[in-house]
Amino acid sequence: MASRSTDPSPRGPSGSPTVDAVSLAIIEQLQEDGRRPYAAIGKAVGLSEAAVRQRVQKLLDQGVMQIVAVTDPLTVGFRRQAMVGIDVEGDVDPVADAVAAMPEAEYVVMTAGSHDLLVEIVCEDDDHLLEVINKRIRALPGVRSTESFVYLKLKKQTYMWGTR
């Protein structure tokens, strides 16, 4: 007799967990208010508080979502943000890993386009940004060039894309 998987989580073609409509509704509730009580979420999605708690924990354990406090960098002492395009010679993975390990790097993505990597950097000021780009990123083996896009004003930042 063939053995069956004990993992009840359906998987998509890429091997990542798939998320059903109820879990998406839970995610949407948490995106609106990350502190919303499980009882209120349950009422909105038609589940018990315990069932919501279990689903949320499963989504967290699978890495489908995180629950975090999002700050405005300006209000907590970070006066300079920039997107940095990085061009790499050879394997992009080691450079991506090294940049991702930097505390100033908030977002690191490998791309198919003008740059091999796009990195969002959050710094205290222009001197700090210069140090990160010039002394740390450009010093990494394999980095061929960088292009910086300094943020002048943030017009929109949302995290609601996970349920549209």
Phi, psi of 62 (to 5 degrees): -80, -5
**3, pLDDT greater than 90:** no
Closest among 122, 94, 96, 125 to 108, alpha carbons compared:
96
Q: Is residue 9 a contact partner of residue 20, using CB atoms and an 8 Å limit?
A: no
Enter the tokens of residue 108: 């690191």
pLDDT at 156: 83
The one-character DSSP state at 152 is: S
Q: How confident is the model at residue 8 (pLDDT cuts 50, 70, 90)?
A: very low
CA 79 to chain centroid, in Å, comes to: 21
**69 vs 128, residue with greater confidence:** 128
162: pLDDT confidence band, cut at 50, 70 and 90? low
Residue 12 DSSP class: -
Whole-number mean pLDDT of the chain? 88
Supply angle C-alpha 52, 17, 58, rounded to 5.
Answer: 30
Domains within the chain, CATH numbers bracketed:
21-62 (1.10.10.10), 73-150 (3.30.70.920)
Digit-coded pLDDT (tens) for 9-25: 555 556 667 789 999 99
